[in-house]
Structure 1
Amino acid sequence: MDIEAEVKEALRAYDRALPAYRLLCEALERELPIHLRQWGVSYVRVEARVKKRYSYELKVRSDPTRPVLDMIGVRVMAFFRRDLPQIEKMARRLLDVAEDSYIDKGELLGPESFGYRSVQFVGRTRGDGAFPDFDAGIPVEVQIRTMLEHVWAEVEHDFRYKPQAEPPTAEINRRFALTAALLEQADRNLDDIREALEG
C-alpha cells in the first residue's frame, strides 16, 4: 500500500472513531475529578482533548508504520506538588499503563537545571471500571503536573516554537530558566504553607 492510501485509510479510521473519542474525553473530565476526591486530592483541574485531524495526518505521514498513541490526551493539573504521586497512583488504578512510555521530564533535568516538568505516560482503557462504555485498549496519553508547571510549559512552548525572525537569545533562555526556578520554588512554598496550615 502506498503512503497516500495508508494516510487515507488512517483518516477514515480517525473519522469513524472520533465520536467515541469525544465521548471518552468527556468521561475522563467527568470521572477523574470524582476518583481524585476519593483519593484525597481535591485541588485539581482535568482537561482532555482529541488530537486534531490535521495533527493526526501529519503524524501518520511522518511514519505510517508507527501507531498514534496520543489520539486522546488528558492533562491532570494539581495545585500542590505533593499530590502528584497520589494522582499517578489513581491513574494507574483506572488505566493499564504502558511502562515503556513512562517519562518523568523533571528527572531529565540536571541537578542545576530548571525547565519543563511533567510526568507522562500512555494508559489504555480496560473496558470496565471507571470507563465501562468504552472498548478495552484505547490509548490515552496522560500528563500530570502542577498548575504552575502547566502555566510555565504553555507560555514557554508558545514563545519558543512560534515562528520568529530570530531564535531566542541567550538572555531570553536565561530568563526562561530563571522563571522555571522561581515557579519550582513557588510550588515548594505552596506545599510548605499547606502542610503548616493542615498541621
Structure 2
Amino acid sequence: MTEEEYLSFIQPYEDALNNIQVRIDVLNKDYRRKQLNYPIHHVQYRIKQKESIENKLIKCGNDTTTDAARNCLTDIGGIRVICYFVRDIYGIVDLLRKQTDIVVIKESDYIRTPKGNGYRSYHIVFGVPVYHTDGMEYYPVEVQLRTMSMDLWASMEHRICYKGEKKDEAAAEFINYSAALKQMEEEMEGFLSD
C-alpha cells in the first residue's frame, strides 16, 4: 500500500470516526444538561497508521492492500471513551444502540467476562454511515469503553507486560491489580445515590 493509497483509503474512516465522536459528545452534553452530571471523563480517538494496518494484515495472514484492510479490519477508526463508573459505560452503550442509523457489527463485554490476563473493557464496533457524492456506505468504528481505573490498568499492562522486558514477572501481578481496581471501583460507585 503506497502512502497515497493509504491517505485516500482512510478518508471515509476519518469521516465515520468524526461522526461517532460528535454523537458521543452530544450525548455527554445532553446528559449533563438533563442530569446535572456527565458519564464521560474524556475521549481519545485515532486512525490506524499505515504501518500498523500493514503489520496487522501480515499477522492475520493477509496481503497488505487496501482491499484486504477493508475486508478484514474493523478497528481502522477507533475511539476510547473513558467513563467514571461501570454503569456509565453501559448507559452510553445503550444510548448509542438506540441510534437507528448506526448498526452493531460486533461487541465484546470484557467487563462481565474479563480476559485471562485481567483486562476489562467494553468493545463495540459500529457500522457508521458515510455519505459520498455517489451514495452512502457503512464504515466500521471500534468504540472501547473503560473506566478510569480500567484505562490505568490497560495502559500500564501494555507498557510493562506487552512492551516491557519483565512481562513474565509482572503478568501474574497484573491479574491481582485488576481485581483490586475492580473492588475499588465497586466501593466508589457505592457512594453514588441511585
TM-score range, shorter chain: 0.7 to 0.9
* 2:154 corresponding residue in structure 1: 153
User: Normalization by structure 2: what TM-score?
Assistant: 0.76
User: Normalization by structure 1: what TM-score?
Assistant: 0.74
Percent identity among equivalent residues? 24
Q: Does 1:15 align with 2:2?
A: no
* 1:34 corresponding residue in structure 2: 26
User: Unpaired runs of 5+ in structure 2?
Assistant: none
Which one of the candidate residues 79, 85, 92 is aligned to 2:84? 79
Contact 2:121 2:146 in 1 (8 A): yes
For residue 36 of structure 1, report the CA deviation from its aligned partner: 3.0
Could you tell me how far apart the structure 2 residues matched to 1:69 and 1:114 are? 23
Matched positions, count: 176
Could you tell me how far apart the structure 2 residues matched to 1:160 and 1:114 are? 10
Question: What does 1:28-107 align with in structure 2 at a 5 Å threshold?
Answer: 28-39=20-31, 42-44=38-40, 45-61=42-58, 62-64=61-63, 65=68, 66-94=71-99, 95-98=102-105, 101-107=106-112
Could you tell me how far apart the structure 1 residues matched to 2:191 and 2:164 are? 40
Could you tell me how far apart the structure 1 residues matched to 2:23 and 2:114 are? 32
Distance change >3 Å, CA 163–CA 148, structure 1 → 2: closer
* 1:162 corresponding residue in structure 2: 163
For residue 163 of structure 1, report the CA deviation from its aligned partner: 4.8
Could you tell me how far apart the structure 2 residues matched to 1:168 and 1:80 are? 30
* Superposed CA offset, 1:61-114 (max 9, x none): 33235521111001111111111211111222342101xx2111234349xx77
User: Unpaired runs of 5+ in structure 1?
Assistant: 1-6, 129-133
Question: Which structure dedicates a bigger proportion of its chain to strand?
Answer: 2
